Amino acid sequence: MMAVTGWRALLYKETLRFWKVGFQTVGAPVLTALLYLMVFGHVLEDHVKVYGTVGYTAFLVPGLVMMSVLQNAFANSSSSIIQSKIMGNLVFVLLTPLSHWGWFFAYVGSSVIRGLAVGLGVFAVTVLFAQPSFVAPVWILVFALLGSAMLGTLGLIAGLWAEKFDQMAVFQNFLIMPMTFLSGVFYSISSLPPFWQNVSHLNPFFYMIDGFRYGFFGVSDASPWLSLGIVGIAWLVVSAIAVHLLRIGYKIRG
């Protein structure tokens, strides 16, 4: 019973941590997504049709929502771990009888909550400009949960690995951001030359966004079942790595 109460307490603490500064952690990403939509939607709405009949602004909304979910899920767990390590207050969590599974569920769970909160905020604002349909809402929920869990787990690994903010910035700027922007957020990969389509299929972020977008339009560049399989396997792999690092106390125990 103590273990269950413990991880719930840490989950509550981590959720409260980002919610107390919600204007920065939730409001700012919503504003950023809105600016993307206003600029790209205004410029390309009359010139680009996707999947034959879908307007560009409507196409862009799910991509921006999922991009915000992924980036903020990663930021939540990674920033929490690195801040606690640098400020020295991680020792208070280490003193608790929490298992490595308790750590994992608390940090990844809070990242999922933040990612979904930001995603709902982005959708609530951007839907004013375009109303995408909901052809398969179950797929929307599945990929939102799986994508936020995947990036929350990656953020946990990055936070454990990094020893200072500069290292965290390298991880985010040279891995997370490029893979997110090159995953089809702003375009359908079917519009790319064959070589770059093949390269895009090597990016697991593409399958998260493509599967999520399928839930809105019922059309996608890849089968949603293929996307689900690839994202699911990828999450299991990074989860195994994260749990192992927590179990051995990688860079958090002397």
Domain presence at residue 177: yes
* Three-state DSSP state, 54: strand
Rounded (10°) CA dihedral 100, 105, 106, 107 = 90
Domain presence at residue 170: yes
Residue showing tokens 């995603």 = 119
- pLDDT score at 40: 81
Q: What is the pLDDT along the chain (254 residues), one digit of tens a residue?
A: 344 467 888 999 999 999 999 889 999 999 999 998 888 877 776 666 677 778 888 888 999 999 999 999 999 999 999 999 888 888 888 888 888 999 999 999 999 999 999 999 999 998 888 877 889 999 999 999 999 999 999 999 999 999 888 888 888 888 888 898 888 888 888 888 888 888 889 999 999 999 999 999 998 889 999 999 999 999 999 999 999 999 999 988 75
Domain extent, residue 199, equals: 10-247
- pLDDT score at 48: 67
Domain presence at residue 119: yes
Neighbours of 248 (CB within 10 A): 11
From 102, 73, 88, select the one nearest 15 (Cα to Cα). 73
Domain presence at residue 117: yes
Domain presence at residue 142: yes
- pLDDT score at 1: 38
From 108, 158, 114, 117, select the one nearest 7 (Cα to Cα). 108
Domain presence at residue 2: no
How open is the CA angle 223-226-231, to the nearest 5 degrees?
Answer: 125
Q: Which amino acid is at 139?
A: W
Neighbours of 129 (CB within 10 A): 16
Domain presence at residue 132: yes
Chain centroid to CA 1: 31
CA distance 32 to 233: 31
Total tally of structural domains belonging to the chain: 1
- pLDDT score at 227: 96
Domain presence at residue 220: yes
